[in-house]
Structure 1
Amino acid sequence: MLQASVIIQGESVNHVRNGSFKGQSNKCNHSQVAGACENGRVSKGYRSYSTPVRCNTLADVKGYIYMFAKEQNGCRFIQSVFDEENPKHVEMVFDDTIRHKLIETLKTRKQIKMVVSALEPGFLALIKDLNGNHVIQRYLRCLSDEDNKFIFEAASKFCVDIATHQHGCCMLQRCINHSTGKHQERLILEISANGLLLAQDAFGNYVVQSILELQMPFAVSMLISQFERNYVHLARQKFSSHVVEKCLSVFDDHSRSKIIRELLSATHFEQLLQDPHANYVVQTALRVAEGSLHNLLVKAIESHKALSRNNPYSKRIFSHKLLKK
């Protein structure tokens, strides 16, 4: 077996997702790696600028193969491993290098098709995975709209499942931003069709807000048709209250007025003033309301002053300068 002697020029062996390297924590750590393999493992920490790393087996550099592959001697060492035709060694090299920007090197249609065929079956699992979703993000950024077609189609098909996931909700927003034409329209259509459900979800509400910010007429119309007669209910929920605030901020005067009037017509309007979530919706309504509608809102709030002013949530409203707008 060829022995590898590799000098890592001032780089930490702790790698991050994008292929660059990061150091240790902010805590003082005076010890540096001596440069030798210890017990079949490379010690973690900073490498000396001049001390080579000597290793005899691939297991000695497991976890750092990507770094070794970038050095002349390390590259030769890893290539020599393949002469043994050991499937486990091939798998080890693959696992340690696959995360480092493989997608950026794609050149031909054949290569792209091969990657698509590998990613497509596991798309849903990848997009929800802490690390796997970065592979999809890289694909979106590096390749064309047509090459990303399989991503947009899968995102549309599984939009609710993806939107209600911690990592998926961010990826879905990126899909919207990177898609164009029919791909974007279909994606927005599917999300909007499930707007009422997603608005009440811990993660889905962010996706709905991003759709509202685009202010596409067909999407706004679909969302309004679901939200109408539900604004009071939505305002009193933790996640959907943010969506109602977004509606008040981006809707036109007519649609905004309908929201405020629906809030005012609540059977127990004073409960909205005292609610830990709805009070923020009322504050936003105060900021955006104009003219007679603003006066009507102020009058309704003032009529409950005696009952609500000492409540920890409603007192924010009663101390609001907008009551005197």
Structure 2
Amino acid sequence: MLTPDDDGGAAGNDRGRRCRRRPWGLSVTIPTPNADDYAKVDHDGNIWVAPGRFSLRPSSWINGPITAPILPNPAAASRYLGGMLTPQPRRWRPGQAVALAMEPQSSRMLQKCLEEGGIQEFDLMFQEVLAGFPTLAGHAFGNYLCQKLIDKSPPEHRALILRRLAGSIARLSVDVHGTRVIQNLIELCTTPEETALITLEFKGLAVNARSQAYDWVFDELSDECGKLATDQVGCRVFQTAFDVSTGTVRERLALAITENAAQLSVDQWGNYVVQRLLHVGDKVMRRRLIQVLLPSMATLALLKFSSNVVERCLRRAPDEALVDAIVAEMCMSGPERLAALMCDPYGNYCVQTAMRVYESSQAKLEHLAGLVRPHLPLLKVRYRQPVVKNLAASYPDLIYERRPGDLFPRNKL
């Protein structure tokens, strides 16, 4: 309950009036003359009080500047207090926009100003923020104001932003905050001038895949597939390019990936490009890629990155004949090779994936289970427990058997 303070309480009761208890459970003493000297309503609807006038409880006085809202319901407060509280307009001082944009609360305030303000306020803020755009674009809070400005900017203003960001776009593209601003710019590019500015800045490393003006980028990706697809950023560009390409352009990219499949599959970044082709490519592309990798499937299954490619091949093979060929290459070339796969920390997952793919064919699953069962005791303890647990859950007959007279199934291992 709000109470008058010790120094001014009695005088306040004499000069003012006491409000009855309101629905939110607060009572306030507001001096009748010049009420605006004691309480204000800010642009967010909070009611603020002058220092030393009110407190939340007798032992907690409000001292210092007006820094704490005390009444949460401005509509009710204005009605009960007779309209004595004056709403304060939202203000920001010219020359402070860049500094304000770096604080969470004031950044939101500036964004709200852009949303509700007119063209004059937009022009004023744009000219001020433009000077600090490279810094704000990579800032945790400033990037939101930059995105808001881009959204509300016409093409000629976006061109000014691109010129101001010259030399910084590549750096911002790999920044956790700046990448949002650059993506927003690329998304909204509509004029040849904007397109030319972005192309010049990225020097072929960025893709606005919606425009036919970027066909030369696809040519560059195809020619330098082995180099670009093994780069951390390049592999993402390659996947995006493949996703949005069509017709002969996609076919050219698929051929480039297939020709470099062996190199890409064992690379920490390149394997994602191969998996992308297997995920979104058509049957012809997938069949061609798997046939290229088929002779080395057993070796690829033993390696950290390429084992993921092998599992993807098993899941995305266009027909059962290719699945049988992959399984035969991995598991049916000899007991030594299968034992090596079962005991390998990566290879054993490829074997489990093959068994899941064969679930639709009972005969093939039983045949593969018969090949796998003799090697289960060879598994290292650290690998055996999760593998056996997964196999027992999916294929209990592989792990357990029940003999005549047994109350419970026996572990075959």
Structure 2 length normalisation: TM-score?
Answer: 0.53
Q: Which moved more, 1:154-163 or 1:254-263?
A: 154-163
1:206 pairs, out of 267, 272, 280, with 272
| Residue 208 (structure 2) pairs with residue 123 (structure 1) | no
C-alpha distance in structure 1 between counterparts of 2:239 and 2:163, whole Å: 34
Kept in 1, the 8 Å contact 2:271–2:309? The answer is yes
Matches of residues 237-276 of structure 1 in structure 2 within 5 Å?
237-251=303-317, 252-264=319-331, 265-266=333-334, 267-276=336-345
1:297 pairs, out of 368, 388, 402, with 368
Kept in 2, the 8 Å contact 1:248–1:288? The answer is yes
Q: Which moved more, 1:224-233 or 1:199-208?
A: 224-233
* Amino acid across the alignment from 1:207: V
SS, match of residue 369 in structure 2 = helix
C-alpha distance in structure 2 between counterparts of 1:295 and 1:257, whole Å: 14
Judged with a 3 Å threshold, the aligned counterparts in structure 2 of structure 1 residues 197 and 93 are, in CA distance, closer, same or farther, namely: closer
* Amino acid across the alignment from 1:216: D
Kept in 1, the 8 Å contact 2:264–2:270? The answer is yes
Judged with a 3 Å threshold, the aligned counterparts in structure 2 of structure 1 residues 116 and 220 are, in CA distance, closer, same or farther, namely: same
Kept in 2, the 8 Å contact 1:248–1:256? The answer is yes
* Amino acid across the alignment from 1:241: S
Judged with a 3 Å threshold, the aligned counterparts in structure 2 of structure 1 residues 202 and 281 are, in CA distance, closer, same or farther, namely: same
Alignment deviations for residues 117-175 of structure 1 (CA, whole Å, 9 cap, x no partner): 6257x113xx4xxxxxxxx3xx22xx33x233122222212222221122222221111
Kept in 2, the 8 Å contact 1:274–1:311? The answer is no
1:311 pairs, out of 365, 381, 389, with 381
Alignment deviations for residues 173-207 of structure 1 (CA, whole Å, 9 cap, x no partner): 11112111111111111111111111111111111
C-alpha distance in structure 2 between counterparts of 1:235 and 1:261, whole Å: 13
C-alpha distance in structure 1 between counterparts of 2:262 and 2:147, whole Å: 51
Q: How many angstroms does 1:39 deviate by?
A: 10
C-alpha distance in structure 2 between counterparts of 1:239 and 1:69, whole Å: 37
Q: How many angstroms does 1:314 deviate by?
A: 3.1
Judged with a 3 Å threshold, the aligned counterparts in structure 2 of structure 1 residues 69 and 152 are, in CA distance, closer, same or farther, namely: closer
Query: 2:39 maps to which residue?
Result: none
What RMSD, in angstroms, separates the aligned Cα atoms of the two structures?
4.2
Kept in 1, the 8 Å contact 2:167–2:201? The answer is no
C-alpha distance in structure 2 between counterparts of 1:323 and 1:305, whole Å: 14
Q: How many angstroms does 1:104 deviate by?
A: 2.3
Query: 1:223 maps to which residue?
Result: 289
Q: How many angstroms does 1:254 deviate by?
A: 0.8
Alignment deviations for residues 213-245 of structure 1 (CA, whole Å, 9 cap, x no partner): 235344234323321221111111111111111
Q: How many angstroms does 1:296 deviate by?
A: 2.2
Kept in 2, the 8 Å contact 1:205–1:240? The answer is yes
SS, match of residue 354 in structure 2 = helix
Alignment deviations for residues 84-130 of structure 1 (CA, whole Å, 9 cap, x no partner): xxxxx9965767899452662424xx54773476257x113xx4xxx
Judged with a 3 Å threshold, the aligned counterparts in structure 2 of structure 1 residues 244 and 117 are, in CA distance, closer, same or farther, namely: closer
Judged with a 3 Å threshold, the aligned counterparts in structure 2 of structure 1 residues 119 and 92 are, in CA distance, closer, same or farther, namely: closer
C-alpha distance in structure 1 between counterparts of 2:216 and 2:229, whole Å: 17
Q: Which moved more, 1:243-252 or 1:157-166?
A: 157-166
Q: Which moved more, 1:171-180 or 1:96-105?
A: 96-105
Kept in 2, the 8 Å contact 1:192–1:222? The answer is yes
| Residue 216 (structure 2) pairs with residue 150 (structure 1) | yes
Q: How many angstroms does 1:298 deviate by?
A: 0.9
- The count of aligned residue pairs is 262
Q: Which has the larger radius of gyration?
A: 2
Judged with a 3 Å threshold, the aligned counterparts in structure 2 of structure 1 residues 235 and 92 are, in CA distance, closer, same or farther, namely: same
C-alpha distance in structure 2 between counterparts of 1:209 and 1:37, whole Å: 52
Kept in 1, the 8 Å contact 2:231–2:269? The answer is yes
C-alpha distance in structure 2 between counterparts of 1:148 and 1:258, whole Å: 40
C-alpha distance in structure 1 between counterparts of 2:147 and 2:292, whole Å: 55
Judged with a 3 Å threshold, the aligned counterparts in structure 2 of structure 1 residues 313 and 224 are, in CA distance, closer, same or farther, namely: same
Query: 1:282 maps to which residue?
Result: 351
Q: How many angstroms does 1:250 deviate by?
A: 1.4
Unaligned 5+ segments in structure 2 are: 1-42, 45-66, 69-90, 114-120, 138-142, 170-180, 399-413
| Residue 185 (structure 2) pairs with residue 101 (structure 1) | yes
2:251 pairs, out of 185, 204, 218, with 185
C-alpha distance in structure 2 between counterparts of 1:105 and 1:268, whole Å: 55
Q: Which moved more, 1:312-321 or 1:198-207?
A: 312-321
Q: Which moved more, 1:237-246 or 1:311-320?
A: 311-320
1:114 pairs, out of 193, 196, 211, with 196
C-alpha distance in structure 1 between counterparts of 2:228 and 2:201, whole Å: 16
Q: What is the identity percentage for the equivalent residue pairs of Structure 1 and Structure 2?
A: 24
Judged with a 3 Å threshold, the aligned counterparts in structure 2 of structure 1 residues 213 and 324 are, in CA distance, closer, same or farther, namely: farther
